[in-house]
Amino acid sequence: MDKTVTNQEEQNQKNNQPADGQETDQVQMVEAEAADSADVEELKTDEFRGAADEQEGEEALSFGELYESSFKPPKEGELISGVVVQINKENVMVDIGYKADGRIPIEEFLDRSGNLTVDIGDEIEVILERHDGEVDDILLSKEKAARIKVWEVISRTYNEDGVIEGKIVSRVKGGLAVDIGVTAFLPGSQVDLRPIKDLQVLVGQTFPFKILKYNKRRENVVLSRRALMEEERQELKTETIAQIQEGKVVEGVIKNITDYGAFVDLGGIDGLLHITDLSWGRITHPSEVLKVGEKIKVLILSFDKTMSGFHWG
């Protein structure tokens, strides 16, 4: 019995063991599958590396483009802000956010006495006049930038019926020259409410003005001080009329003297004070008791608001 069992076990072992040819085929299949898997993994790695290299190249290109774009110079004629970084004998160097600094001839920063009017660190507005890309030479101008700003102010003031301040700089034919950032013309008839014989006395003084008209192309600006004074006078007149009452004593200023009396300004309203009401005694001329610019008190005898007519003494 034992022999029979033993023989059966041996036979079973033989049946479970593959033949030599079959074992070789199985080994070769396993090796082929392993090789295919390795090829796939290598292909995936190559594809990943290629994609990564491509993405890296695109990022590098984008960064390079961004870097270059950050240094693009402004266009010629463009108004920009900059900071003074260096001053030498010939130029004032200005950082305008480009890879090269711009230069402005130092003459633009010298006053009439030859004194420098700018310091390192000052922020200024400039205009780009010329850019030589081969050597990165950038020519700027502060004066032209200032003129552009002035014309913007002139246009806005005119359109909004506003007021602009200016300094009378010289006497010219037919009126006065006024500095408002550009040279403007003030006709003699627009200087005051009344004619001024000697316009030279106004040279050097600063006043507010209205802009009557302007032409940027011709660099022509016409001003009026009279128009502004008339507006102010009308406002004052309205206030004065609201306060005046018959029998009230008010203060006025002698504006003009004639043979028959004196004109008194009560605040936007002129009235005639007749020579017979100037004094209890007899006088031959108002200038005997009054002078232009003198302040006096008068009594309102009657007043017609609809006609703005006064009778006073």
Q: Residue ranges per domain, the chain?
A: 17-68, 79-142, 161-228, 244-312
Percentage of the chain beyond pLDDT 90 is 37
pLDDT band at residue 55, thresholds of 50, 70 and 90? low
User: Is 201:164 a contact under the CB 8 Å cutoff?
Assistant: no
pLDDT band at residue 281, thresholds of 50, 70 and 90? confident
- CATH 3.30.70.260 for domain 79-142: no
pTM over 0.75: no
- Top pLDDT among 190 and 284 is at 190
Superfamily classification of domain 161-228 = Nucleic acid-binding proteins (2.40.50.140)
Which of 7-16, 175-184, 235-244, 283-292 is predicted with the least confidence, judged by mean pLDDT?
7-16
Fold of 244-312: OB fold (Dihydrolipoamide Acetyltransferase, E2P) (2.40.50)
- Sheet with 295-304, strands from edge to edge, namely 270-274, 261-265, 249-258, 295-304, 309-312
pLDDT computed for residue 244 by the predictor: 76
Structure tokens of 214?
A: 């302007």
Mean pLDDT of the chain: 80
State the virtual CA torsion across 50, 51, 57, 60 in degrees, nearest 10: -140
pLDDT band at residue 45, thresholds of 50, 70 and 90? low
Same fold, 79-142 and 161-228: yes
